[in-house]
A and B are shown apart, each in its own frame.
Chain A
Amino acid sequence: MRIAVDNSLCEAHGQCGVVDYDLFPLDDDGFSAVGPSREVPAGEEATAELGVASCPARALRVLP
């Protein structure tokens, strides 16, 4: 599974980082540093989905 952030949508709510700081790293200003394609370690898919769903700006997604 891979996840991505659309930086033009990210508003630095920080809610993904609250779900899992390692899966959803933030930069110094609190914006997502997930990048265009980040591998989710095996076994952490459910957490990744929770983090993606937690974004109030809908800036995160699971890549097909």
Chain B
Amino acid sequence: MTVDLTAPAASADPYAVFRSLRDTDPVHWSEAHRAWLITRYDDVSDAFRNKAFSNDRVRPVLARRKEPSAASDVLGLLAGWMVVTDPPEHTRLRRLAAGAFKGQRIAVMGEQITAIVDRLLSAFLEGDGAQDLISEVAYPLPAIVIATMLGAPPADRDRFREWSDELALVAFGTGGAARADRHQRALRGLREMDAYFHTLVDHRRRALGDDMLSALMARDGDDLLSDDELVAMCALLLFAGHETTTNSIANATLALLRHPDQLDRLRADPDLIGPAVEELLRFDGPIKVLNRWVVAETEVRGKRISPGERVHLVLASANRDPMRFDDPDTLDLGRNPNPHIAFGKGIHACIGAQLARMETRIAVSRIVSRMPGLALAEEPVWKDVLASRAMDRLVVRHS
């Protein structure tokens, strides 16, 4: 048996596949993915601190390229991201970035985010009939938030969306020659992004503000992020903070529509939004799988895992493990405690978790309160992708 998580049936209902893997082969070698699928909560948790599993997975690819190419520049930018580094490089980058993501800094964004959500929702409410909540609300929101946080002028916000798409295309790679042209265009777009962020960094160096980019320029002792590192950090913020947040909001809304009792519960008790969002992230979060590169011989649940292999840590399965969660397939907005790992765990735990939580809480709160007649208008289709749990569209009616 080999499991392919990108098969349409597995994308439509990955949780059935995960249940069977957890029960019968919790550390599964998938020939289709050429990787190990780790599906139990305890094993995924341990894997986050197993030094045999490395995040340094872009640099080796870059090093194997013999000739410089258009892709090399952009890959070079990606290779500097802290998500693809191990300590000690990771520790340094994470420390330097941490100040910009502090809870206090994020908390003051609340009003601004609410205003952005309300503007998007007001436009949505003007529309009639079946409309896509993803393209109109869940997708634009995080890009606008990131552009605002970086202090970019409002007129430039649409470009952030385009760059985000291009980053995803390049970072996740492409499938075959048919998409080579799109790939080339994406690379051109990203060189523009690189230049744009360099200009933004340059301006901010001369006149610090109270935006996140200025906060990223703060020193840690006598160390600080270089211009190139700041540009890489801006790109990472956009890449890591956009689609994930879109999917958190969309998946949460769908889960509520599918569980009317829980939707009623949230409407009756809006203060439940904090634990509700944690439960929605556990139940159907934005990320199915995180990758690690194996750099040393190790063993997981009796299976020997060797250097050069890859492991897929299946967060979405761990979050439904009955050995950790009672009635894991039940959506219970009041679940407490709720030690889900939708944001990962350990030293690489999502640095933007507080921002993502706040955006999702505000968006979900406002969606359910401003649209009392919210209803699904068409059966959603899940994208056949490995890493994320993502719908193409979420078509709903609001009245």
Residues of A within 8 A of B (CB): 11-15, 17-22, 26, 28-30, 44, 46-47, 50-51, 54, 56-58
Contacts and interface: CB of A to CB of B under 8 A. Distances in A.
B354 A29 contact: no
Interface in B94-134: 94-95, 98-99, 101-104, 107
Interface in B313-357: 337-341, 343-351, 353-354
9 contacts: A14-B344, A14-B345, A14-B346, A17-B98, A21-B99, A29-B346, A56-B278, A56-B337, A57-B339
Residue among B87, B95, B343 facing the most chain A CB atoms (10 A cut-off):
B343
B337 A58 contact: yes
Given A20-B104, A47-B103, 17 more contacts: A12-B45, A12-B49, A13-B339, A13-B346, A14-B348, A18-B101, A18-B350, A18-B353, A19-B102, A20-B103, A21-B94, A21-B102, A28-B87, A29-B347, A30-B49, A50-B103, A54-B354
Contacts of A12: 45, 48-49, 345-346
A11 B45 contact: yes
Given A18-B101, A30-B49, A46-B104, A11 B339 contact: yes
Top-8 shortest CB links A-B:
A14-B349, A30-B346, A21-B98, A19-B103, A56-B339, A30-B347, A29-B49, A50-B103
Contact of A47 (B104, B343, B353): B104
A47 B53 CA distance: 33
Contact of B337 (A19, A20, A57): A57
A45 B95 CA distance: 21
A44 B353 CA distance: 20
Contacts of B101: 18
Contacts of B343: 15, 18
Nearest to A27: B347
Contacts of B102: 19-21, 47
Contacts of B98: 17, 21-22
A52 to B, nearest CB: 11
B279 to A, nearest CB: 11
A17 B94 CA distance: 11
A29 B346 CA distance: 6
A15 B94 CA distance: 14
A17 B99 CA distance: 11
Majority secondary structure, A binding face:
loop
A15 B49 contact: no
B149 to A, nearest CB: 16
Nearest to B356: A18
B347 A26 contact: yes
A21 B92 CA distance: 13
Contacts of B45: 11-12
A51 B103 contact: yes
Contacts of A20: 102-104
Contacts of B347: 14, 26, 28-30
Interface string B81-101: 000000100010011001101
Nearest to B339: A56
A4 B200 CA distance: 41
Nearest to A56: B339
Contacts of A22: 98
Contacts of A15: 343, 349, 353
A17 B339 contact: no
A28 B87 CA distance: 9
Contact of A30 (B337, B349, B351): B349
Contacts of A11: 45, 339, 345
Contact of A13 (B91, B104, B107, B341): B341
A14 B344 CA distance: 9
B118 to A, nearest CB: 24
A50 B358 CA distance: 13
Contacts of A26: 347
Interface string B43-75: 001001100000000000000000000000000
Contacts of A51: 103
Contacts of A56: 278, 337-340
Contacts of A44: 104
A29 to B, nearest CB: 5
